[in-house]
Amino acid sequence: MFDAAAGHPAHLQHHFSDSEQQASASKLGMWLFLLTEMLLFGGLFAAYSIYRAWNPEMFYEAHKQLNIYLGMINTIVLISSSVTMALAIRSTQLSNRKLTVRFLVATLLFAAVFLVIKYLEYHHKFELGQLPGKYYTFTGLQGTNPHIFFSIYFMMTGLHGIHVIGGMGVISWMLYRTKRSQFSPAYYTPLEMTGLYWHLVDLIWIFLFPLLYLIG
């Protein structure tokens, strides 16, 4: 972990004067990146608010088509995955590599469960023809343009799903690096950044769930 020739820790890049400066730069960069993620979703939240304000009754009728129980299970699953992610970081801080690996695997499993449940929900919607825009063929809903609700539903949950898959990729990479002993209590910045990202993915779902499934 210590590069004797360079006279500084191996993880320290040449343009930083010390590890602390490097870590705080990474953290600021990550927060700014998360800000861009929020604004990316922000566009969809704006679209949701506008169409909801224009078609309150249609949104009310359409939201009943979503399965609250599956949504709730997925919420619990994602919150649990955030907990295991945080515990993985804690384990690295305590130099417990084995436990870190286990918690990261658990996080991956929770994420997979989330995607499987999401797949079941999507599958059901596809069968009923509750699809976005011009592919909408479902006839059991009153109100004007109910396909708009499903357009928004699929875009918001779809974009979120892509972020879950991306997160799983990064967590797998962190798992690999943890196994190769690249992190220690002195240096675990990438793991911590992954945690921040994962909590944001979780947080976005915590907004999506009530907006799409719960409020009538």
Partner 1 sequence: MDGIPAYNYLSSPKGWKSWLLTRDHKRIGLMYLFAIMFFFLVGGIFALMIRIQLLTPNQALVKAETYNQLFTLHGAVMIFLFIIPSIPASLGNFVLPQLLGAKDVAFPRLNLASWYIYVVGALFLMYSIFTGAADTGWTFYTPYSTQTTTSVIATTLGVFILGFSSIFTGLNFIVTIHKLRAPGMTWFSMPLFCWALYATGIIQILATPVLGITLVLLILERLFGIGIFDPAMGGDPVLYQHFFWFYSHPAVYIMILPGMGIISETISVFSHKKIFGYKAIAFSSLGIAFVSFMVWGHHMFTSGQSELAAMIFSFLTFLVGIPSGIKVFNWLATMYKGSISLAAPMIYTLMFLILFTIGGLTGIVLGALSVNVHMHGTYFVVAHFHYVMMGGTVMAFLAGLHYWWPKIWGRLYSEFWARVGALLTFIGFNMTFFTQFILGAKGMPRRYSTYLDQYQPLHGFSSIGSFILGAGFVVMAGYLIYSLFRGKPAGNNPWGGLTLEWTTTSPPPPENFLETPKITHGPYDYDKVIADNG
Q: Which residues bind partner 1 (CB under 8 A)?
A: 13-16, 21, 24-25, 28-29, 32-33, 35-37, 39-44, 46-47, 50-51, 55, 132-135, 144-145, 147-148, 151-152, 154-155, 159
Euclidean distance between CA atoms 108 and 199, whole angstroms: 13
Q: Is 26 exposed, middle or buried (0-12, 13-18, 19+ CB in 10 A)?
A: middle
Asked if 181 contacts 92 with a C-beta cutoff of 8 angstroms, the reply is no
CA dist 197 to 102, 156, 158, 159, 209, Å? 19, 17, 17, 15, 19
The DSSP call for residue 134 is G
CB of 44 to partner 1, least distance (A): 6
CB of 168 to partner 1, least distance (A): 21
CB of 145 to partner 1, least distance (A): 3
Closer residue to partner 1 (CB): 102 or 132? 132
CB of 69 to partner 1, least distance (A): 27
Q: Please provide the DSSP assignment of 146-182 as one string.
A: THHHHHHHHHHHHHHHHHHHHHHHHHHHHHHHHHTT-
Closer residue to partner 1 (CB): 28 or 72? 28
> How distant is the alpha carbon of residue 46 from its chain centre?
19
Closer residue to partner 1 (CB): 112 or 132? 132
Q: Is the dihedral of CA 198, 199, 201, 205 positive or negative?
A: positive
CB of 8 to partner 1, least distance (A): 13
Closer residue to partner 1 (CB): 105 or 131? 131
Closer residue to partner 1 (CB): 74 or 151? 151
